[in-house]
């Protein structure tokens, strides 16, 4: 499992107040219990961690931890 | 397998406001919704309205309240206090804006503004601003979006409010930051910028309002502050917030109208001497507002249960009303996807309807009509030098750049 994925999974778990292992990385953010408000904070944490600017649309366009991570990896690769 | 795939497709919501292709051209998405599920409930719980009659009924029904975004931000700052440093300034400003207020406060505030803003003699101001812009650009090769459509309304609002002309770029910049508060999806950094811009706006307008108190003139800001002093009908912070709200509202959407309107006229070869006729210019302006509305979406919140045809909208449900979709409804407009400059009647919803109908509609139309009249008198050929670049915002449709040549 990649680091980006781990990081996001951890942050999602923190937000929901559960263990990271209990967060299914293929389940949609929304069905995990995250809403548009959580999205703002989660994306902000990721932006700070990876020093990147994230389009807020990507949270909805890539709505699982796994798909979001893949997309972010691509963005970071393109940047470097 | 094919069966599973098609079933999944059937269940998939056509409402995808986060997809770039839909942001750049929302009309196919609107059409699909209007035809298949015009009162659409999204997975996030809001209703998406795309038919004309539904949109109109909701906008005219007082049990649907405004102020969702301010409520949302305010809820966020209380629920996430630890992370949410303090965004109270932007929340308070949004709550003060006339556009986000409900009756009875709304009625009083709107009346107050209308009472002060009774001077509609703006032709000279607009004409002078256009001349000033033209004197500084090469009209055979320029960016219509940044060099004409954005400065014209900003300069015009600066003059109407009675502020120093040199300040218009500064105010325009603050306005661009604050207008993001209407975006469907926000980022933390955007909210930080909005908060900072709001503080600067307040400081700026407090300072100038004080100056107008000691040196009154005929400007809108002066009239607003003096009306306030005489009547104290509204709180001081609301007065200040609505001064910069008027600037933002008068600037952003009018820039959108000029960009979209001129783009479609040039692209469809309809910017020609026929438009020297003021009557045609007036109906063309209405048609452009319908055809590609600068304000695409407004939101409401149901305060009570409401029956909309066969659906029950519950108290507390948010609604996303797609004005841009209503304005292309074939049940209301014949050949809705065609630009017909002589269309009449043309009861579009570009300025919404009901108690929150845009109060500066006349000014936006006036700026567009005066500008278009001048263009078709002064120039005989209009060409696009490049494809337009759209701003990626579904709520407010406008251009980033549009390179043109006028000869």
- Write out the DSSP string of B258-288: HHHHHHHHHHTT--SGGGGSHHHHHHHHHHH
- C-alpha dist (Å) from residue B340 to B73, B333, B337, B344: 41, 11, 9, 9
Interface of A with B (CB under 8 A): 30, 35-37, 39-41, 43-44, 47, 53-54, 56-61
ipTM, two decimals, is 0.84
**pLDDT (tens digit, 0 to 9) for every residue of chain B, 407 residues total?**
444 444 444 467 899 999 999 999 999 999 999 999 999 999 888 999 999 999 999 999 999 999 888 888 887 777 765 666 678 899 899 999 999 999 999 999 999 999 999 888 999 999 999 999 999 999 999 999 999 999 999 999 999 999 999 999 999 999 999 988 888 888 888 888 999 999 999 999 999 999 999 999 999 999 999 999 999 999 999 999 999 999 999 999 999 999 999 999 999 999 999 999 999 999 999 999 999 999 999 999 999 999 999 999 999 999 999 999 999 999 999 999 999 999 999 999 999 999 999 999 999 999 999 999 999 999 999 999 999 999 999 999 999 999 999 99
Angle between helices B151-161 and B168-179 (to 10 degrees): 110
Ranges under pLDDT 50 in chain A: 1
Residues of chain A contacting residue B20, judged by C-beta atoms under 8 Å apart: 57
Who among B23, B79, B187 is closest to A44 (CB)?
B187
CB contact under 8 A, B188 and A47: yes
CB contact under 8 A, A37 and B79: yes
Q: Dihedral of the CA atoms B9, B10, B13, B17 (nearest 10)?
A: 50
Distance, CA of B56 to CA of B155 (rounded, Å): 33
Residues of chain A contacting residue B185, judged by C-beta atoms under 8 Å apart: 36, 39, 56-57, 59-60
Who among B19, B43, B80 is closest to A37 (CB)?
B80
CB contact under 8 A, B189 and A47: yes
DSSP state of B182: G
Distance, CA of A1 to CA of A5 (rounded, Å): 7
Find which of A30, A39, A40 to mutate to test the B interface (most B CBs within 10 Å of its CB): A40
The string over B374-397, giving b where at least 16 C-beta atoms fall within 10 Å of a residue's C-beta and e elsewhere, is ebbeeeeebeeeeebebbebbbbb
Distance, CA of B97 to CA of B92 (rounded, Å): 9
The string over B202-221, giving b where at least 16 C-beta atoms fall within 10 Å of a residue's C-beta and e elsewhere, is bebbeebbebbeeeeeebbb
Residue A80: per-residue pLDDT:
76
DSSP state of A2: -
Who among B19, B44, B188 is closest to A40 (CB)?
B188
Tokens of B7: 């079933």
Residues of chain A contacting residue B23, judged by C-beta atoms under 8 Å apart: 57
Q: Which residue has the tokens 């479609």?
A: B264
Residue B81: per-residue pLDDT:
58
Q: Nearest-CA neighbor of B391 among B124, B105, B117, B179?
A: B179
DSSP state of A28: B
The alpha-helical segments, DSSP class H, found in B88-150 are 88-96, 105-116, 123-134, 144
CA distance B301 to chain A (A): 17
Residue B3: per-residue pLDDT:
45
- C-alpha dist (Å) from residue A38 to A15, A20, A71, B84, B279: 8, 16, 19, 11, 51
Q: Nearest-CA neighbor of B349 among B286, B396, B300, B399?
A: B286
Which residues are bridge partners to B48 per DSSP? B40, B320
Closest chain A residue by Cα to residue B394? A57
Regarding pTM above 0.90, the answer is: yes
End-to-end CA distance of chain A: 21
């Amino acid at each position: 499992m990649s680091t980006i994925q781990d990081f996001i999974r951890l942050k999602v778990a923190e937000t929901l107040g559960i263990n990271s292992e209990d967060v299914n990385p293929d389940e949609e953010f929304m069905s995990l219990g995250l809403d548009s408000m959580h999205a703002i904070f989660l994306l902000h944490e990721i932006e700070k961690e990876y020093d990147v600017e994230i389009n807020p649309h990507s949270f909805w366009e890539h709505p699982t931890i796994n798909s979001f991570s893949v997309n972010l990896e691509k963005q970071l690769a393109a940047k470097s | 397998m094919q069966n599973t795939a098609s079933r999944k497709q059937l269940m998939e919501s056509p409402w995808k406001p986060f997809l770039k292709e839909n942001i750049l051209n929302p009309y196919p998405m609107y059409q699909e919704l209007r035809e298949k599920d015009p009162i659409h409930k999204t997975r996030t719980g809001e209703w998406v309205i795309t038919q004309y009659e539904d949109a109109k009924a909701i906008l005219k029904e007082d049990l649907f309240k405004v102020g969702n975004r301010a409520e949302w931000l305010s809820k966020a700052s209380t629920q996430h206090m630890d992370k949410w440093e303090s965004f109270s300034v932007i929340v308070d400003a949004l709550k003060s804006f006339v556009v986000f207020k409900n009756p009875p406060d709304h009625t009083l505030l709107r009346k107050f503004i209308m009472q002060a803003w009774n001077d509609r003699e703006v032709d000279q101001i607009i004409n002078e601003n256009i001349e000033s812009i033209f004197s500084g650009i090469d009209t055979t090769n320029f960016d219509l979006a940044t060099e004409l459509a954005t400065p014209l309304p900003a300069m015009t609002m600066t003059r109407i409010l009675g502020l120093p002309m040199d300040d218009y770029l500064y105010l325009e910049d603050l306005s661009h930051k604050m207008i993001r508060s209407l975006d469907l999806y926000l980022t933390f950094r955007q909210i930080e910028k909005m908060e900072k811009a709001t503080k600067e706006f307040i400081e700026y307008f407090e300072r100038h309002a004080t100056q107008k108190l000691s040196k009154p003139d005929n400007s809108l800001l002066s009239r607003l502050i003096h009306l306030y002093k005489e009547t104290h009908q509204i709180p001081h912070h609301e007065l200040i917030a609505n001064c910069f709200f008027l600037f933002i509202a008068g600037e952003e959407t009018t820039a959108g109208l000029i960009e979209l309107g001129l783009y479609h006229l040039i692209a469809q070869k309809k910017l020609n001497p026929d438009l020297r006729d003021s009557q045609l210019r007036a109906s063309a302006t209405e048609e452009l507002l319908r055809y590609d509305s600068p304000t695409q979406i407004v939101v409401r919140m149901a305060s009570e249960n409401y029956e909309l045809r066969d659906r029950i909208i519950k108290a507390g449900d948010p609604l996303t009303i797609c004005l841009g979709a209503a304005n292309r409804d074939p049940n209301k407009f014949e050949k809705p996807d065609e630009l017909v400059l002589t269309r009449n009647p043309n009861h579009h919803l570009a300025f919404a309807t009901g108690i929150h109908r845009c109060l500066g509609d006349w000014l936006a139309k006036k700026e567009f009509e005066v500008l278009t009249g001048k263009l078709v008198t002064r120039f005989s050929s209009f060409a696009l030098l490049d494809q337009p670049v759209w701003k990626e915002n579904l709520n407010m449709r406008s251009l980033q750049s549009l390179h043109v040549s006028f000869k």
